[in-house]
Amino acid sequence: MTPNHLHIDYDEGVPGSYRGVVLTADGKETQRWATGDPQSDWASYLAHAKENGLLILQSSSITHFCWDNPEWRFIEDADGREVLVPEDRPEWLEATDA
């Protein structure tokens, strides 16, 4: 099985530059979710990966996206998957000035 690589397309260090969630295989883009809503795009990626039984390697851009955009974070859902959600912890938002 060929591994697929996943990354978040945005300009690192530039909040608000989100362009989409991108899946590649063999160095070629195979799927892009680019609605402008990171949460929706991430959910679409998760559904696609589950439906197709894909082996996914995640890029560090995913973690970097949350560091550069503190209004987003990952939580684990009931199925054990990492889900991108808006940051809703007031103490975190206050500490990061998000």
Decide if 52 is inside a domain.
yes
Per the CB < 8 A criterion, the answer to whether 4 and 30 are in contact is: yes
Decide if 11 is inside a domain.
yes
Spatial distance between the Cα atoms of 9 and 41, rounded to a whole number of angstroms: 11
pTM for this structure?
0.88
Q: How many domains does the chain have?
A: 1
Q: Which residue has the tokens 């998000």?
A: 98
Tell me: the pLDDT tens digits for 38-84? Answer: 999 999 999 999 999 998 999 999 999 999 998 999 999 998 999 99
Spatial distance between the Cα atoms of 37 and 95, rounded to a whole number of angstroms: 24
Decide if 92 is inside a domain.
no
Decide if 18 is inside a domain.
yes
Decide if 33 is inside a domain.
yes
Structural domain that includes position 40: 4-70
Decide if 75 is inside a domain.
no
CA 4 → CA 31, 52, 59, 64, 71, distances in Å? 10, 11, 10, 19, 27
